[in-house]
Structures are given as structure tokens and as C-alpha cells.
Structure 1
């Protein structure tokens, strides 16, 4: 299509709303394109050339999107940084990525200064003046994996050399999976941090195809509902933690807002407990669509209707993608038998920057794995069990914590839960649950008894937690990712896990 793309839309309809910032101010396509041009020229004036890298420590908003589009049109790799990280962690990523420029917001000035001192990066004004940067060639997002073991690594893809004014067909195809067409009255709500791959992709593709993007800086469940009603939002991307908080609102609050504009509520990034998904489907209806994917590429999708027929599935491989489940010998596991999940998206390739060994270990021919364990049914629908690094081996038997977590999450006293293995001299590992109770519930032996009795009717005895601990809040990032290592590692200090 020749009528889409940020700069094309800006030239034809400069006053069209592109971004609604968290403070309510609107930024037009003309303004956003001009910002991206000035920043792109500024980066070039600092000596950056295609293939160089820019690190960004910026809050959600039009400024971050302008920097992203500046790198996109000048052939640069952009590395959006998680502003919850420490200065040392940010400094490592800036250094490891080879960033030549580090762009930070004043909100994070102290952290940015400390991180910048650890890396040889340029700090300078990026306003290069009006006009298009030259040369112009398409850049790429380079996100850093969350690092389930060891330090995170950047997922880096070859640059295509494409014209940045041309929206890639893969972007149109991807949105088409969810029934999202250019323009068509669509409005996107960005309600998670833009430093996550999917969140950034949904926002930038929305802008490329003429969908205004309403941006939240800090997510609040009722404010999200208000924004859907106020801006007639048609699509968004969420995670199960946000579903939980929406469902925790009083019913009169949930029913106060008109959500009829919503056409597709897309969720992924973390496993969704079955009961949470059912309640969202009962409330929102068939607009709730789930996908499973990785920053490295490829994935699956399941509609609301299919999920009701196959509860717990994350769907079939989307067109152009392959999904296989392989056993320890590298052969295809039979239907229903867990193995390592491998994905492939066409002939797309990537590397973990600076880690050839990790890149090699993740590959099986043209397919790759991020270490998830799952199985396929007879119809090719994928079901996830857990991450390989989280599997508990107790008495020689594999136990998948996610299965236990899904059951515990349905108990009315449980706000959030994590299950993991801790050392046991005889069995190797034993199962521990860490529970965040709902506010009005008192933690203690009585609650533990209730929870274990609840599980006893739902799980085999060998899957029951041997101990239950309680915390005020589990360590999750704003996108719902659970930092299970923070809970588990203290128990393994000085000892080595089998996995």
C-alpha cells in the first residue's frame, strides 16, 4: 500500500492525531515525523552511520517513539532500556550493545549518569535541524533478552537496506493475524512499557498504518477503562497480570465504562491462568485473542472460540511460522508428550550479540528455542508446560510449576503466586510455593492448610507444594514478567541445580 507509513501519512495529512501522550497532549503525524527527522539528523551529525547502535532510557510517550522512528529511518539499531534496572545493569547493556549514543530522559538522569560513566558513549544534543536525514535506510529494534540464566543478550537481526518510507509486508501480515487493517477507524492503547518488544512493535506498526496511539505511562486498571471509553480504543496488548488487576476492580467500576469500541484485546508475554482467561472472556467476549511468540521470531495464535474448546492452549502456528516439539534426541515428540518447543519464522535469522555459543545452543537447523517446554495435540495446537530452567526434578520426576501456579491462582485468597524447586537432600528438589494473598486475607498456617486442601482435589500428590511462604508482593516487572530467580536463588546459594 502506498498510502501508509509515518512520513507518507505526515505528508498527506499532517494534522492527523498520531500520539496521545500520558498527560493528554496530542502529537500529530506532522509533528512526530518532524521530531524524528530532527533527531535522525542529529544522530548523523554525531557521526553515526547505518549499523551503529543507539540506547534509549526514556519513559513511554511521543519522545521515545520519535527517537525510535529516527533510528528506523537512519539504519541504526535501537536498544530500549528497562528503566527499572540498576545503573550497573543498564551500563552493561549500553556497553555490550556497542551503543555510540545513549539517550535518556531527565526523570532517569541520576541512573543514566551512573550508567553512562560505565560505558564509552556520546552524550550530546540530538536536534539536527529541520529536513530529512540523508542517507535514509531502514534500521532495526535490538531488544535484550531478560536473561533467565546469566546476563541478557541482544537479539540482533541483519539490516534489510529497505526504504524506511515503505511499510514492511511482514508488519501488515502480522496485524492481519488479528484482523487489524490500515486506518479503518482503529485506535491503539499502549498500556505497558515500550521497552518490551511486542509493546514497541504494536505501537510503531499502529502508527505506520494510521492508527493513533494512546500512551499510558504508569498502568492503572480503572484509568485504562476510562481511556478505552474516552478515545474509542479498538485494540491493545496486555499481559495476565493486568487482567488480574482489572478483574479485581469492583463490579460496579468494571461495568461503569463503555468498552464496545474494543475489537481485539491481544495478550501474551506470560502464561495466563485458566480461570483468569475464562473470566476475561465472560466479561470482554470474543475480542480476547492470545498469542505465543519470542523476540527471536515465530509464534502461535488462538482465538477466544478455539480457546474455549481447548482451554490452556496457546494455539496453532501462525501462517509462515513452524512449531515443533522435540525430545532429548532431537526427534519430534509424540502428540501429548512434553518436549522442547522450537519455532521458525520463514527464513528469518538472528544472533545473540556477542554470544555465538548461546546462538548455536538455541538452534536446530533453521529453528530455535527459548527453552520452553510444551506439547502439541493431534491437531497441532500447542500447550506450554513451563520454561526448562523452571522445571522441578523431585525424586527423578519432572514437575511443571506453571501447572501448580495455574491451580493456586484460582483460589479466592490468592492474588499472585510463584512455584519453584528448593534443595532437598534425598529428592534433589522439593516444591515450594510463594503466595501473595489478596489484601483482606491473613497469611499463616490456616491459609496454608486451605491452599493445600484446595490443591489436593486438583493435582497428584507428588505435585503438591511441601511448603508455602507468603510475601506482600511478588517481584514482577510492569509487563508481568515474574523474576522467579530473585525468589529461588537464595535457596540455592552455594549449590548447583541439575537444570
Structure 2
């Protein structure tokens, strides 16, 4: 054997874990502003002491390496600090969407083997309603913002705990750090496992990709329980810059915060960007510190993308990715030239477009997107069958359709499950959406398929308007404007608001159900 390939048994392999990140910043950059939430402004030293109190309180409750800590919380200081307290203990964070209710809470909390749960007064009744079905010890129900029978006051526990460093766990890179449940737009949620190594890769690789540095100021207005938030959440702590968290997205608070905090980096999903673009002050001239706006969650339609690039030259990034861990990035240096693309794989990542037999397709041909990267999940928690289906020979099969151009840039065609097959022809909803959004009265659009006696399936467009227009006018305009006959829409459904999950993704299954409900009413939709 080649001796150069041998590793000396005395060589120290430094574990790539995230439990020490905050501690290091508190030691070497104690007075740098670390975290902002409302009126709360904490330096790294102050944040570290607060997180230590939480970690020590959790340890006193019996939480240690490998134990699962669940949260059912909106954005808050407590939710943010839980991410880092759990890391220090080597425990496993299970952040739940605060929109989950009833049996959903039971299924997910029990599926994750949760040993403790934190929530607030607003969400405690939903847990109390099904508490008898949980497996969590009675003393491990913590309330972050008040006191009531059956719940431990987190404030009291925090005050009583030491602010010194908790005992350091014996961690290795592969140790589990969090279980993130999928948003469930295409089926039942699954617990996606991420190790310390995966989150270390998020911190280092995305700090590089997004040009984040210690002087950066990152703002996040979406829920941090979703993996998309980790694209800047982890780099912020890895690099040691300021992280500004808003309670929720609302256009005016976002615009004020971007200006007042001199924000350099922010993530917005397409529906949020659409809302911001309605305001003329959303421009680089009034927000001159902005260096990076990332669109994530679902494809941003070309017209909106072009307007965003016009208002913020050399700042727009777009990302395509899955919580499971394959990601492409469209860099700001090419976003104006590749406006239809969602980028290419970042460092140490690979991508292929394959047909149903797994054979790689040439540039320009649509197939399933598969990829592999160092930040990929090890699988779905306690779901080996689904893990094997998604991860095959080291490649993640995304279930999404797309093609690459001659330069290797990825263009999305939609999800395989959203594909409309009309008369034997593949119809990609995104192609039709790109046309309809150009109508001056249309603010948002989503296209989905319905059964058709002759063609198998046919497209229907759900539309939210900003000006008056009839369904007949919109359908006729679309079918006149669209080039391919098989892309012509059968009907238009007007909606006041799109059904979306907390991550901002449009729920097309619910739109389809709404359409069929409307069909039952007289004089609705041909």
C-alpha cells in the first residue's frame, strides 16, 4: 500500500462540530453585536452567557448528548438561543412549525422521540389538547413567556441556572445536531437528519458563497424553524457577524429594519419579494448597504427577477435546494445574464440531469435533478425505506425536473408530481406561469393540472389580481399569448390569497381542491 495514503495513528483529527462556535466568539470578540430581536441587543459575550444559562437549565432537566429537544415557537430570542444551547450539550434540536396542530403535533413530537418541549402561551393550548398522547416527561414542558399549571417557567429556570460554560460533550462530526421536518407540500412530513458536520459545512461554504464577513449584518424575517433560514443563520455564527431576527415578515418593518440596522444580507421568498416590489422605496438608492438578496423556497418568476435586478444591481442571488442537502446558487455576478437559471452547484458538489432509467441526459434535455454534496442528510429519521428511495449510491434524487445549459447552469421545469401530461405531452407549469405573470393585472399565479376526458390532464391557473380583470379576459389573453397549443389553459380561478405553508410555498394541492369546490357552485369556471 502507498505509505502516503496512511494516516499516522497519532494524528489528531479535529472534529468539525458547531458546539464551540459561540464560545469562541465570546472569547475573542466579546463586544461585537451578535444578536438583535426587537429591543434586545446582545453582544457575543452577553449572548454566550444567556445561552449557557439555557444549556445548564436543560442539563439539569436531564438533557444530554443525543436527547431530543423540540420547540413549537414563533421567531423569538428563546427559539434562537435554543439552537446554540442544544449544540453546546450535544443534544438534538427538533424545531417544529408553530402552525402544526392536533394529531400533527403528536405524530411529529413522538416520531422525533422528543424528551422536552418549549413553547409559548399562544401555542401551549394546542399541546395541552393532546398532551396525554405525548411521550415527554411531565416536568419537561417549558413555557417561555409566562406561568400556568402543568408547565415549567423557562424564565425561572433560566434565572436559576449558571451562566458558565456547561460541561463539553464528547462530540464527533457525524453526531446528530438537528431533525428538521419537511414542509410537507408533496406528502407527509419526514424528519431530515443533519449532523454537526453538515451544519459546519453550511456555515463555512455558504459564508464563502454569499461573501459574508465579520462586518456583515444579516437580517431574517422568515421563520427560522425551516432549513432555508440556515443558509445565513449558520454562516452568521460561523463568521461572527450580526444577526437581526424579526418576529415575522411584514413589508414595512422589513424595509425599516433594512435601513435602520444597515443590513447587508437578507433572504426573502418569492411571495415576500413580490410584496416588497410593490413599494418604490425598495431599491438600492434608499437601502445602500444591501449587498445580497437571496430568493429561496420556490422559483422567482422572470419578470419579478428582472425588476429586482434593475432595482438592486449586482446584489441578487437565487438558490435552488432541498432540506435533504443538494443546493445550487445563482451568483450575483451572473444573475442578470442567466435570469432564467437557479445557478450551479457550489464547491464540492455535483449535479446530473437523468431520465427515468437513471441515465444522464445532455444539455437542454429535461429530466430529474440529482446531486451530491458534503452537506447532504444521512437520511430520514427512523424511515429507512424512504431514505433508500431518496439516496441512491450517494446521490440525492430530488423529485424535481430541470435541464442544464451548455455552461452547466440549472433551469427548473417544476416538480415531477406537478408535471401535467396533456395528450401525451409534458406540460411544465412554470412555463405557463412565466407567461401569465406578465399580464398587468396579475400579482401572483400558480398553475396546476386537473383531469380531462380527452387529454388526460389540462392546465388551470389560479391568479391573485392587483387590478380588475375577468376570468374570461385572463384565459383568452393567456391562450393568445402562449405559443404552444398544449400549454393553453382550460380555466382561471381568482383567489384573494394563495394557501401557503409557513415557509411561503404555495400549496397547489389545496388550490386544486378549492377549484373542484368552486366547480360545484353554479356559474363557476367552464
Task: Tell me the TM-score normalised to structure 2 length.
Answer: 0.85
* Residue 78 (structure 1) aligned to one of 93, 115, 119: 93
Q: Secondary structure at the match of 2:403?
A: strand
Q: Residue by residue, what CA displacement relative to the aligned partner does 1:424-479 show, whole Å, maximum 9, x if unpaired?
A: 223221211111111x425x34xx32443244223312101101111111112343
Q: How many correspondences in the alignment?
A: 478
Distance 2:87 2:427 in 1: 44
The 8 Å contact of residues 423 and 491 in structure 1, kept in 2 or not, is answered as no
Q: Secondary structure at the match of 2:388?
A: helix
Say if 2:485 is the partner of 1:461. Answer: yes
Q: Identify the residue that residue 36 of structure 1 maps to in structure 2.
A: 51
Distance 1:7 1:408 in 2: 51
Q: Identify the residue that residue 372 of structure 1 maps to in structure 2.
A: 400
Say if 2:322 is the partner of 1:294. Answer: yes
Distance 2:336 2:31 in 1: 43
Q: Identify the residue that residue 212 of structure 1 maps to in structure 2.
A: 242
Distance 1:455 1:84 in 2: 38
* Residue 143 (structure 1) aligned to one of 180, 186, 190: 180
The 8 Å contact of residues 203 and 234 in structure 2, kept in 1 or not, is answered as no
Q: How does 1:83-232 map to 2 (within 5 A)?
A: 83-121=98-136, 122-124=140-142, 125=152, 127=157, 129-130=161-162, 131-136=164-169, 140-158=177-195, 168=200, 171-181=203-213, 183=214, 185-232=215-262
* Residue 334 (structure 2) aligned to one of 276, 291, 306: 306
Q: Residue by residue, what CA displacement relative to the aligned partner does 1:128-150 show, whole Å, maximum 9, x if unpaired?
A: 61122224356512211122443
Say if 2:455 is the partner of 1:427. Answer: yes
Q: Identify the residue that residue 497 of structure 1 maps to in structure 2.
A: none
The 8 Å contact of residues 325 and 375 in structure 2, kept in 1 or not, is answered as no
Distance 1:450 1:152 in 2: 35
Say if 2:26 is the partner of 1:10. Answer: yes
Q: Residue by residue, what CA displacement relative to the aligned partner does 1:333-357 show, whole Å, maximum 9, x if unpaired?
A: 1211111100100485511112212
The 8 Å contact of residues 295 and 319 in structure 2, kept in 1 or not, is answered as yes
Task: Tell me the TM-score normalised to structure 1 length.
Answer: 0.89
Q: Residue by residue, what CA displacement relative to the aligned partner does 1:376-433 show, whole Å, maximum 9, x if unpaired?
A: 1122111110011111112221111121112212222112111111122232212111
Distance 1:109 1:372 in 2: 37
Say if 2:426 is the partner of 1:398. Answer: yes
Say if 2:63 is the partner of 1:48. Answer: yes
Runs of 4+ in 1 over 6 A off after TM superposition: 490-493
Distance 1:395 1:319 in 2: 41
The 8 Å contact of residues 73 and 136 in structure 1, kept in 2 or not, is answered as yes
Distance 2:202 2:458 in 1: 45
Q: 1:54 to 1:400 in 2, by over 3 A?
A: same
Q: Residue by residue, what CA displacement relative to the aligned partner does 1:287-318 show, whole Å, maximum 9, x if unpaired?
A: 11112121111321112342322331111211
**Structural RMSD (CA):** 2.5
Q: 1:347 to 1:296 in 2, by over 3 A?
A: closer
Distance 2:70 2:304 in 1: 36
Say if 2:474 is the partner of 1:437. Answer: no
The 8 Å contact of residues 474 and 492 in structure 2, kept in 1 or not, is answered as no
Distance 1:259 1:137 in 2: 45
1:115, CA displacement in angstroms?
4.7
Of the structure 1 ranges 384-393 and 404-413, higher mean CA displacement relative to structure 2 is found in 404-413
1:31, CA displacement in angstroms?
2.5
Q: Identify the residue that residue 438 of structure 2 maps to in structure 1.
A: 410
In structure 2, runs of 5+ residues without a counterpart are 1-15, 143-151, 518-526
